[in-house]
Structures are given as C-alpha cells and as structure tokens.
C-alpha cells in the first residue's frame, strides 16, 4: 500500500496483518483524489478520516493539499496503525488522533475547527455510515457545505440522513462510493 500522490507520493504505508481492516486500495484512492481535485476541495481542506483504519485516506489528503486531518477509530489496532503510519511519514501537528466510535462523536471541542472534507469508510454491512453522518452533524463537526466521501458495499441502498445531499454515486468493484455534501451544517 502506497500514498498515491502529493508530497508523500509513493511512500509505503504499513497495512494490517489480517483482514480485520479493509484498506482503501491505491486504485480507489487515486480515483477519489482525482474527484476531489477536480472539484477543488483539497487545497487547504480541514479533513477528517472516520473509521480511519490504516489512516490512508487522511494521509493521502494531507499529502495532496489538506491543511489538517482528524483521524478517528475505535479499534485499538487500527488506531495505533494509523498513528504509526503518520509517524513514519513524520506527520506532526497537522494530524490529530481521536480514539472514539465515529457513530458517537459527541460535541466537537472548541479547539478543533469544523471539518470541510470527511472520509467515511466503515466496515461493510453494518449500516454504520448513516449513524456516523448523523453523529457528525449533531456534534457540530462539519463546516457548512462540507464535502463527504462515503465508501460502502456496492449494494448499499439506505438513504443519507437529513442534512446531507448526495451529489453522485459510483461503483468500483465491491465498493459504492457516495459523494455528498453536508447541506445544513454550522458555518466554520
């Protein structure tokens, strides 16, 4: 697994030793970041990588122009792996790590700015994406018009919760990629 582009491009990321975590493939990350670049939402973004696993999506965002990224996971092995990958690349103050269930974020601390770009890549077939999206809106974690990238199983059918508008859906192998915007968040 490698960083696809930007200042950390081609650097190797440590992958999990088992299949408990399903990292976003290099190919899919490349597609995601082409979409983000074409929409002009990367440069200066305040990113958030929920269900961060290896941290690949958040690290890619930092590599390709995001100012900061908050990494969230509640599985100790994944959380530690994301921290290790960031440390290996010498990512410092631009990364913050929160050990928490992304479906129960609670209120955003005042010292953490509202996020403008969010990645959600929850375990498949557990319907966690809508719960996490609700949690982010209710906790004030999202800036107005925050851009959201949601990875779910390709046959996922549930509607997005109130406060989000779907912009596009694409299928990549076993993954459905939903591009959405937070339509009723508090301003930064």
What pLDDT shows up at residue 186?
A: 43
In the block, tokens 């913050």 appear at 96
Rg (alpha carbons) of the chain, rounded to whole number: 15
| pTM for this prediction | 0.93
What pLDDT shows up at residue 27?
A: 87
Helix%, strand%, coil% for the chain, nearest 5: 25, 30, 45
Contacts 24+ apart (CB under 8 A), 163-166: 163/133, 163/134, 163/137, 164/133, 164/137
β-strand pairing of 164-172 with 175-182: antiparallel
Rounded to whole angstroms, how far apart are CA atoms 70 and 173?
28
The string of DSSP codes covering 22-75 is -PPPHHHHHHHHHHHHHHT-STT-EEEEET-TTSHHHHHHHHTT-SEEEEEES-
What pLDDT shows up at residue 39?
A: 94
What pLDDT shows up at residue 183?
A: 80
Q: CB count, 10 Å around CB of 131?
A: 16
Q: Enter the tokens of residue 34.
A: 């082409």
CA distances to 14, 30, 38, 128, 157 from 33, in Å: 20, 5, 8, 23, 24
Q: In this structure, are residues 58 and 72 in contact, taking their beta carbons and an 8 Å threshold?
A: no
Chain segment 125-167, per-residue pLDDT in tens: 999 999 999 999 999 999 999 999 999 999 998 789 999 999 9
Helix, coil or strand: residue 137: helix
- Low-confidence spans in the chain with pLDDT less than 50: 185-188
Q: What homologous superfamily does CATH list for 6-15+24-182?
A: Vaccinia Virus protein VP39 (3.40.50.150)
């Amino acid at each position: 697994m490698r960083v696809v582009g930007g200042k950390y491009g081609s650097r190797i990321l440590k992958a999990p030793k088992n299949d408990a975590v399903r990292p976003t493939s290099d190919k899919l990350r490349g597609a995601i970041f082409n979409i983000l670049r074409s929409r002009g939402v990367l440069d200066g973004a305040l990113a958030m990588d929920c269900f961060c696993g290896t941290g690949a999506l958040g690290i890619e965002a930092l590599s390709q122009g995001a100012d900061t990224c908050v990494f969230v996971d509640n599985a100790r092995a994944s959380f530690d792996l994301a921290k290790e990958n960031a440390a290996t690349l010498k990512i410092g103050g631009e990364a913050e790590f929160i050990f928490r269930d992304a479906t129960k974020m609670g209120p955003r601390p005042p010292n953490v700015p509202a996020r403008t770009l969010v990645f959600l890549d929850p375990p498949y077939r557990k319907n966690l994406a809508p719960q996490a999206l609700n949690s982010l809106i209710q906790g004030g974690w999202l800036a107005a018009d925050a851009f959201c990238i949601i990875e779910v199983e390709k046959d996922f059918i549930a509607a997005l919760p109130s406060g989000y508008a779907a912009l596009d859906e694409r299928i990549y192998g076993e993954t459905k990629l939903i591009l959405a915007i937070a339509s009723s968040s508090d301003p930064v």
